[in-house]
Chains A and B, each alone.
Chain A
Amino acid sequence: MNSNEAMDKRTTVEEGTTFKGTMSSTCPVMVRGTIDGEIEAPSLDVAETGTVVGNVRVESIRSSGVLAGTVDADDVYLSGSVRSDTVIRAKSLEVKLQRERGKLEVSFGDCVLEVGDDPAVEASDTSAQSKSEAKPSVSEAPAAMQGDDASGDPKKGKGKRGNSRSTSIPPAG
């Protein structure tokens, strides 16, 4: 199947369907039901009625349903909810401002978000350049900065895009 054909087709887990196990697809995956296990696909779309629990490795994920587990992706767009013990690693994350006042666009349980380059690395770099005073090194950084050690998640483990993004970042602005 060439890439165009793959993109034209879509694997759908419909509402009322529960899938347990490992799913590997060359097509975009749409989840309206429940997936419990591992997913590897170009993209994953979790509808409001959908739930994905487990390890997800995709290029892009758009979720307005429920996510739990470990997500490795380039681009993540979230609404809906993220359950406890979830780790999201991504190059970019987008969560919109809530549309309705008082309503949460996305609710987070206990979870870890690792998005883009590590700000702590930049802080160390810029501090070293601009000041002689001691600055916190990466090793001194809080648990949240320390990759998968931070999660406290028994399912932790680096994905293929894992923590390879911990490089220096350009100054803001």
Chain B
Amino acid sequence: MSGATTEADKRSNGKGTRTPMNRADLEASVRRGDKLERAQLEGADLAGAKLERAKLRRAQLEGANLEGADLSRADLSGATLREAFLSGAKLAGAKLGKADLDGANLSGADLSGADLSRANLEGANLEGANLSGAKLRYAQLDAANLGEADLGGANLSHADLVEAALEGAKARGADFSRADLRNADLSEADLSEANFEEASLESANCKGARCSKANFHDADLSDANFGGADLEQADLRSAIIDGTLFEQAKLTGARLHGLELEAEQIDSAEAEWIDRSSGGDGSDRRSLRPGPLARPEDEEGTPRRFFGAGDVMRNAELEFGDGAKVQIESRFERCTIRLGKNTELIVGEKGTLEDCTITGGRLRILGRFLERRSPGLIGPSQLHVSARGAVAATVQQPESATHFAFEKGCRLRVRITQPSQG
């Protein structure tokens, strides 16, 4: 073991000379309750050491081997533990506020009730660690591995968890309010009753997560994927859900006031009822019908047209007025469709349009559009092709250009032209 220099050394000789201290000396010193503040223990081999309640504030333990060491209730506030090996260490109730644990290995460590507020855990390995009841406010956990970790009741408010791996984590009742979870992996995690108020979960993977009674009020869930997740009685009021997917999610009793759910977002989602009341008190129960046009609440006065599966339309000319919503689940052949300026046409997953021409409107293709006469799509203000959608067509853009959106997985043979090329 390398020698250690302590505050006591500095006081005694004023120069901070190093006092050689082996493991036995250190353990004895800890038993006596000596202050080991700023002790220099870089790279020390302290595996299995008995350091319970050690006073190691701001100690230098970079690269130290503390595997299986007992540091329960130790004071390591502000200590440097970069790249330290703490696998299986006992750190229950330890004080690690502002500690630097960048890249440390804490897999399987017991950090229950520990204070890690404002600690730097960037890229740390906390796989399977017990962090139940731990304080991690403002902690830096970006790219950290928290897979299968126990975060039950932990406080992670304002924490930086960008790209953190939390798959299978047990975070029931944890506080993630205002935390940054962009691109984090929360798949299969238990997030029941967790608090994500005003948190950012942009592009987070929440597939199969258990989120019943979780609070996502005012959270940013843009492009997050809750496929197959359990969101029963979850509070999503005023959340940002641009591009959020709830495919096959369970939404019974979910509080959805203020949300505009698009059809494909709730594809195959299940809900006996959803709560649209502003207070989230269950006073305004509505049904959530599965399917591409399923919306919790239809806009009043919006004319709708629906062509069901199994129907075949040939050589028809159809015109839909401004503001209408049209859904096609049937087969259309050689039809000409004219859409008003704000008319939305959805080709559902079962819908196929072959050799048809569509003029104007906002188009969403979940099924197939296959043209022979060019151009098949004339002047659409928007063309959105879903992951399962397929388009083989020439798209003639309007003067103001078309807003395009293509989801990963779509199939395209598309030629885009500008209006002058008519």
Identify the A interface with B (CB < 8 A): 75, 84, 92-99, 104-120, 122-123, 135-136, 140-146, 150-151, 169, 172-173
Contact = CB atoms under 8 A, between A and B. Distances in A.
Contacts of B417: 110
Interface string B356-382: 000000000011101111101000000
A119 B405 contact: no
Contact of B376 (A84, A113, A118, A142): A142
B411 interface: yes
Interface string B410-422: 1111111110010
B242 A118 contact: no
B416 A108 contact: yes
8 smallest beta-carbon distances between A and B, as pairs: A119-B390, A144-B415, A116-B411, A115-B412, A145-B413, A95-B406, A113-B414, A97-B405
Given A114-B412, A120-B413, A144 B392 contact: yes
Interface of B: 223, 242-243, 349-350, 352, 354-355, 366-368, 370-374, 376, 384, 388-394, 397, 401-418, 421
A150 B411 contact: no
A140 B223 CA distance: 38
Contact of B370 (A84, A99, A105, A119): A119
Contacts of A118: 392, 411, 413
Given A120-B413, A173-B388, A104 B372 contact: no
Contacts of B371: 142, 144
B128 to A, nearest CB: 26
Given A94-B406, A115-B406, A119-B370, A144 B388 contact: no
Contacts of B408: 75, 92-94
B33 to A, nearest CB: 47
A145 B392 contact: yes
A94 B366 CA distance: 15
A110 B403 contact: no
A82 to B, nearest CB: 8
